[in-house]
């Protein structure tokens, strides 16, 4: 069974994001970039499936500029078998990414596609669901536990009321939650081996996908700073304040 995993290059989660002075976007100059944390969980789960004998090959895919090969190499160092880089200088929006992944699924014929539930740069949480719709495949989103038994996939997903268990027939789409696993650290020998693993480069034009952006960012602003609170001497003073200023009593 082949497993295909999509990964994205994002600003590292530990970095404080800076905005451009004109508010037109994020300032990426001199900023540390890394593999999206949710995608790292997806790679880890795919590698664990291979280690258990449930998967025969793990393919990682990234879409974007040349620098997107960095997270691909990171995923290969974690245990993926080969990478595919779909190169495009244009902005990667969810629908175009889903259409590109659909083309790659048709070409690679995996039985399972695993994606992080969202990227921490845009928090869209859309690509997995769009891909499932385009392929007409069953989907399990926000998955915190995953088991495979022959051609059946059982997942536990987190919902507002608690946990929901779903069973679906493969092929299927899965998006990972934080509690699915804890990714391993890449060892130095595996990092060196990752440099020798195959990494295919293809253009988005060869797949026939239109990457023209349909969403335009007008401006980006930092959230307003929170005003300092005040201390009151008694409950009576609090009630008086709520009644006069907040008018909630």
pLDDT tens column, 47-92: 999 999 999 999 999 999 898 899 999 999 999 999 999 998 888 8
CATH number at residue 156: 3.40.50.620
Q: In this structure, how many other beta carbons lie within 10 angstroms of the beta carbon of residue 153?
A: 24
Q: How far is CA 152 from CA 127, 129, 140, 146, in A?
A: 23, 20, 13, 11
pLDDT value of position 248: 66
> How many angstroms separate the CA atoms of 37 and 119, rounded?
8
pLDDT value of position 132: 95
pLDDT value of position 160: 85
pLDDT value of position 45: 95
Of 8, 196, 204, nearest in space to 116 by CA? 8
Contact 47, 80 (CB under 8 A): yes
Q: What's the structural domain count of the chain? A: 1
Token pair 């200023």: residue: 245
pLDDT value of position 249: 57
pLDDT value of position 238: 87
> How many angstroms separate the CA atoms of 221 and 108, rounded?
41
> How many angstroms separate the CA atoms of 94 and 76, rounded?
24
Contact 112, 45 (CB under 8 A): no
Residue 171 phi, psi dihedral angles, 5° rounding: -75, 155
pLDDT-flagged residues of the chain (< 50): none
Token readout for 169 is 């027939």
Beta bridge partner(s), residue 149: 152
pLDDT value of position 5: 96
Cα angle: 65, vertex 69, 75; to 5 degrees: 140
Q: In this structure, how many other beta carbons lie within 10 angstroms of the beta carbon of residue 209?
A: 19
Token readout for 103 is 């083309």
pLDDT value of position 112: 95
Of 61, 52, 122, nearest in space to 94 by CA? 122
Q: Which domain holds residue 111?
A: 2-246
65 Cβ contact partners less than 8 Å away, ≥ 6 residues apart:
87, 88, 89
């Amino acid at each position: 069974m082949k497993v295909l995993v999509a990964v994205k290059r994002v600003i590292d989660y530990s970095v404080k994001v800076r905005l451009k002075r004109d508010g037109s976007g994020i300032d990426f100059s001199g900023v540390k970039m890394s593999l999206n944390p949710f995608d790292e969980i997806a790679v880890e789960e795919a590698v664990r499936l291979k280690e258990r004998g449930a998967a025969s090959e793990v393919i990682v895919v990234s879409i974007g500029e040349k620098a997107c090969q960095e997270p691909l190499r990171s995923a290969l160092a974690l245990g993926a078998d080969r990478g595919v880089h779909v190169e495009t200088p244009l902005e990667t929006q969810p629908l175009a990414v889903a259409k590109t992944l659909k083309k790659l699924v048709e070409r690679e014929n995996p039985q399972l596609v695993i994606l992080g539930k969202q990227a921490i740069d845009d928090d869209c949480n859309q690509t997995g669901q769009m891909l499932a719709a385009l392929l007409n495949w069953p989907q399990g989103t926000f998955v915190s536990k995953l088991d495979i038994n022959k051609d059946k996939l059982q997942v536990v997903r987190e919902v507002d009321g608690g946990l929901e268990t779903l069973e679906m027939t493969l092929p299927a789409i899965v998006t990972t939650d934080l509690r699915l696993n804890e990714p391993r650290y890449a060892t130095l020998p595996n990092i060196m081996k990752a440099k020798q693993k195959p990494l295919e480069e293809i253009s988005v034009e060869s797949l026939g996908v239109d990457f023209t952006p349909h969403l335009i960012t007008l401006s980006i602003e930092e959230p307003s700073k929170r005003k300092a609170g005040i201390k009151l001497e008694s409950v009576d003073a609090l009630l008086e304040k709520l009644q006069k200023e907040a008018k909630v009593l």
